[in-house]
Chains A and B, each alone.
Chain A
Amino acid sequence: MKLGLLGLASGVLAVSACAASAHVGGIPGGFASGFFHPILGWDHVAAMVAVGMWGAFLGRPALWLLPILFPMVMACGAAFGIAGFDLPHTETGIALSSMVLGVMILLGVRAPLWVAGLIVGVFAVCHGYAHGVELPAASNPFAFALGFIISTGLLHLCGIGLGFLLGVPGGKYVVRGTGAAIALVGTAFLAGVM
C-alpha cells in the first residue's frame, strides 16, 4: 500500500511539469532557475523519470546504479558544453532518449547492466551538453548547475517511486503504460510536434 501511494505521488509530481521545452529562451539566474529548468520541459522530465523507472524495472543494482551514473555522465556532457565543444544533434539525442527509454519500459526489456548503463550514459551526455551550452549565460552558473543536478536527481527518484508500482496488483500495466506515454512524448519531440 505504501509503495502504491509512493508511486502515485511520484506520478502526480512528474506530470505536473509545464508543457514548455527546456531549451527555449534565456536563463535569468541561479539555483531556482537551475532547479526548475529540467522540470519545466517535457523532454527532460520524460527522460529523467524514465531512467528511474527503468532502473526500478531492472531491479538491483540497476535501481540505484542508473540514477548514480546519469548525473555523473551528464556533468561531463555539461563540461563539454561549457568548454565550447561542438556536439551535433543533441536535441535529437534528447528526444531519442525519451523514446528509447520509454520503449524499454513498455516492452519490459531486461537489458544487461552494462548495456543499460551504456544507453543511459550516451543520453546523459546529450542532456548534459544541452544544459552546459546554456550555463555560461546564467548569472550564477554554479548555483544554476547545483539546482539542475538536484532537480534531475529528484526526477529520477520520481521515476523510481513510479517503478515501485510494480509491487502492487495491476501496477505492471501502469508502469508499462507510463513507458508508452514517455515513448510517445519522445516521438512527438523527434517529429517536431512538441
Chain B
Amino acid sequence: MDRIRIWANLWAVLSVVLAVSWPGVAAAHGAGSSVGYTLAIQSMEESVWSPVLLLVLVGYAILAGTSAVGSAKVALVFLLAGLGIGIAAARWFSPYGAISALIVGALCSVVSAARPANPPKVMLPVLAFAVGVAATLVNLDGHPPASLPFAVHFGIVFGPFALVVVVMGWIGMILQMRREVWVPILFRIFSSWSFAANAIYLAFQLKSAGL
C-alpha cells in the first residue's frame, strides 16, 4: 500500500495548503471578478483544460506513474521547480510555448512507450522539469510575472502539479492492485497513443506557425 499512502498524503498536503492560504475571501467582489481561494481554484482548473496541457501532463504522468516510486517522488520536486521557473521564463519563450510543450510531451510518451531497460537516473527529473517549464509557458501565454494576481500564479503552478499527482496516483494504485503482466503493457500502449496525438497536434501547430 506504499504507493497509495504516498499519493494520498501528497494530495492531502496540497489541499490543506490551498485551503489555509485563502480562508474566507472567496468571491469578494461579485461574479466574474472573484479573488483569493475561488480565483486560485478557477485558475487551477483552467490551467489543465487545454488539449496541449492534457497531452503533455498525462503523457508525463503515465511515464512517472509506471516508474519506481522513489524516482517518481524526486521527479515531482523537479516538476514543481519547473512550473515555478516557467513563470520567469514565460516572457522570453512565449511564442513557442505550445510547440515546446508538445515536443516535451512527445518525448515523455516515446520514453514511456519504449521503456528502456536501464534508463539514466536523471531522465525522469529532467523530463519533469521540462514538462513543468513548458506547462507554465503554455498557461501564461506571454504574460509577465507581475501582471497577474498571485492566486492565478498559484493555480498555474499547482493545477498541473495536482493533475500529474492524481494521474500518477491512479496508475500507481492500478499497478499496486493488479499484478498481471498485461497491465504495464496497457500503459505502454496508452503512451504510444499519447505520442501519436502529440505528434499530430505538433504538426498542426508547426503548420499554423508557418514553420
Binding site for A on B (CB under 8 A): 51, 110, 113, 185, 188-189, 191-193, 195-204, 206-207
Decide: B197 and A149 in contact? CB cutoff 8 A. Answer: yes
Residues of A close to B110: CB separation below 8 A: 72
Residues of B close to A68: CB separation below 8 A: 113, 188-189, 191-192
Q: Is A29 an interface residue (CB 8 A)?
A: no
Q: What are 24 A-B contacts with C-beta separation under 8 Å?
A: A71-B192, A71-B195, A71-B196, A72-B196, A72-B199, A75-B197, A75-B199, A79-B202, A79-B203, A82-B204, A83-B203, A84-B207, A132-B200, A135-B200, A136-B204, A141-B200, A142-B200, A142-B204, A146-B197, A149-B197, A149-B200, A150-B193, A153-B189, A153-B193
Residues of A close to B202: CB separation below 8 A: 79
Q: Mark A65-109, 1 if CB is under 8 A from B, else 0.
A: 001110110111011001110000000000000000000000000
Residues of B close to A71: CB separation below 8 A: 192-193, 195-196
A153 to B51, CA, bound (A): 20
Residues of B close to A75: CB separation below 8 A: 195-200
A64 to B199, CA, bound (A): 21
Q: Mark A132-145, 1 if CB is under 8 A from B, else 0.
A: 10011000011001
A64 CB to closest chain B CB (Å) equals 5
A69 to B200, CA, bound (A): 15
B211 CB to closest chain A CB (Å) equals 10
A75 CB to closest chain B CB (Å) equals 4
Residues of A close to B195: CB separation below 8 A: 71-72, 75
A78 to B188, CA, bound (A): 21
A82 to B110, CA, bound (A): 21
Decide: B192 and A72 in contact? CB cutoff 8 A. Answer: yes
Residues of B close to A150: CB separation below 8 A: 193
